[in-house]
A = this chain, B = another copy of it.
Amino acid sequence: MIYFNNDYSEGCHEAILDALTRTNLVQTPGYGEDAYCARAAEKIRKLCGREDLAVHFLVGGTQANLTVIDAALRPHQGALCAVTGHINGHETGAVEATGHKVLALPGKDGKISAEQVRSYVLAHRADSSFEHMVQPKLVYISSPSELGTLYSLAELEALSQVCRELGLYLFLDGARLGYGLAARDNDVTLADLARLCDVFYIGGTKVGALFGEAVVIANPALAEDFRYLIKQHGGMLAKGRLLGIQFDTLMSDNLYFSIGARAVALADQIRATLDELQVPYLVPGSTNQIFPIFPDALLEELAKEFVFCEQERVDDTHRAVRFCTSWATTQENVDRLCQALKELVKKQ
């Protein structure tokens, strides 16, 4: 079987394995206070073009989301996000477990707009019984989103502006950021994120690391005492160096970006084939995730050789599925998938 179902089916990029091996017996302080973490953080600050950023390394995406949101909010405040947002539907209520309501807005292709945020917040404030409702205080977005779409620079600027105007925090989940930065139609840089978001993270788990996300905090109000919160939520590794070594490697020699570029190029090849075959998509996209719609019968055939992810039923005889490429995807497997798609579509 050939796996296209997700971007976390293998271990890690070999450069990371090398670095772990090379440093294995070096003795360091624990809990992220080692030189590797310091160096990785410094490289991230440089890439973001700002020396005043706080950078913390967390174990995974859910951990990053719940720790950041818990650090940011007072008890009566909630996080606005698209109904498809990861924190809303795919983290077993991790945010609610810290006491905060997720305020879900209807999304478009996995995204929400500045205008939606403004309307929601103004309506809250205008309501005569506003104190009976959760106060919106943070906007959570993902880019690439759970549906593989990207926020444009203009969209992020509008969101950032409305958040600042209304006193909300803007938090960007970048679990797949590497694949977004490399997309053909991306016009956003790390420096833009550091300028426009109060906090965001650079995903490692899905972009070549064994595990780990680099949380970048631009707003000092959110940075205060952040390590206490990491510890409290069980996210502080005794051997914090593991995250430092991984991100130090990813942020060296353009590795993070070249991993993204390669995976997106392979996804583009699959998209080109689908376009050629006039296969429709559930949502448009340009990153490492592709959501084509196929007849059930074709998927049954395809499943004999490939593993993919079920997304949703579209009608009685069609389903949308997800293909992912990643740092580990081989050219050979992509060629084989494209070939198989061509044969199966023709057979219909």
Q: Footprint of B on A, CB under 8 Å?
A: 3, 6, 8-12, 14, 17, 20-21, 23-31, 59-67, 70-71, 74-76, 78, 89-94, 96-102, 128-129, 131-135, 205-206, 210-211, 225, 227-229, 231-239, 241-242, 310, 328
Contact: B238 with A91, CB < 8 Å?
no
- Partner of A211 from B24, B134, B231, B237 at Cβ < 8 Å: B237
Tell me the minimal C-beta distance from A316 to chain B in angstroms. Answer: 17
Tell me the minimal C-beta distance from A320 to chain B in angstroms. Answer: 15
User: Which residues of the other chain, B, contact A10 by a CB distance below 8 angstroms?
Assistant: 24-27
List the 10 closest pairs (A to B, CB-CB), nearest first.
A63-B234, A76-B228, A11-B24, A92-B232, A93-B101, A8-B238, A93-B134, A96-B101, A9-B27, A62-B234
- Partner of A78 from B65, B93, B237, B238 at Cβ < 8 Å: B93
User: Which residues of the other chain, B, contact A59 by a CB distance below 8 angstroms?
Assistant: 59, 234-235, 237
- A32 CA to B22 CA in the complex, in Å? 27
Tell me the minimal C-beta distance from A120 to chain B in angstroms. Answer: 13
Q: List 29 A-B contacts (CB under 8 A).
A: A8-B239, A9-B27, A9-B29, A10-B26, A11-B24, A11-B26, A14-B24, A61-B238, A63-B234, A66-B233, A74-B225, A75-B97, A75-B229, A76-B231, A89-B133, A90-B133, A91-B132, A91-B234, A92-B131, A93-B134, A93-B232, A96-B100, A96-B134, A97-B232, A97-B233, A131-B225, A131-B236, A135-B228, A234-B234
- A63 CA to B132 CA in the complex, in Å? 13
Contact: A238 with B225, CB < 8 Å?
no
Residue of B nearest to A243 (CB): B211
Residue of B nearest to A206 (CB): B238
Q: A75-B232, A93-B76, A94-B233 are in contact. Are A25 and B8 (CB under 8 A)?
A: no
Tell me the minimal C-beta distance from A34 to chain B in angstroms. Answer: 9
- Partner of A17 from B21, B89, B133, B134 at Cβ < 8 Å: B21
User: Which residues of the other chain, B, contact A31 by a CB distance below 8 angstroms?
Assistant: 129, 131-132
Residue of B nearest to A74 (CB): B225
- Partner of A96 from B90, B96, B128, B235 at Cβ < 8 Å: B96
Tell me the minimal C-beta distance from A118 to chain B in angstroms. Answer: 18
Contact: B99 with A76, CB < 8 Å?
no
Contact: B63 with A239, CB < 8 Å?
no
User: Which residues of the other chain, B, contact A211 by a CB distance below 8 angstroms?
Assistant: 237-239, 242
- A26 CA to B108 CA in the complex, in Å? 36
Contact: B99 with A62, CB < 8 Å?
no
- A320 CA to B152 CA in the complex, in Å? 40
Residue of B nearest to A88 (CB): B101
- A158 CA to B211 CA in the complex, in Å? 42
Tell me the minimal C-beta distance from A249 to chain B in angstroms. Answer: 14
The interface centre, meaning the residue of A27, A30, A310 with most chain B CB atoms within 10 A of its CB, is A27
- A24 CA to B231 CA in the complex, in Å? 29
Tell me the minimal C-beta distance from A66 to chain B in angstroms. Answer: 5
User: Which residues of the other chain, B, contact A328 by a CB distance below 8 angstroms?
Assistant: 25
- Partner of A229 from B17, B29, B76, B210 at Cβ < 8 Å: B76
Tell me the minimal C-beta distance from A173 to chain B in angstroms. Answer: 13
Tell me the minimal C-beta distance from A302 to chain B in angstroms. Answer: 17
Tell me the minimal C-beta distance from A175 to chain B in angstroms. Answer: 9
Q: A211-B242, A242-B210 are in contact. Are A6 and B25 (CB under 8 A)?
A: no
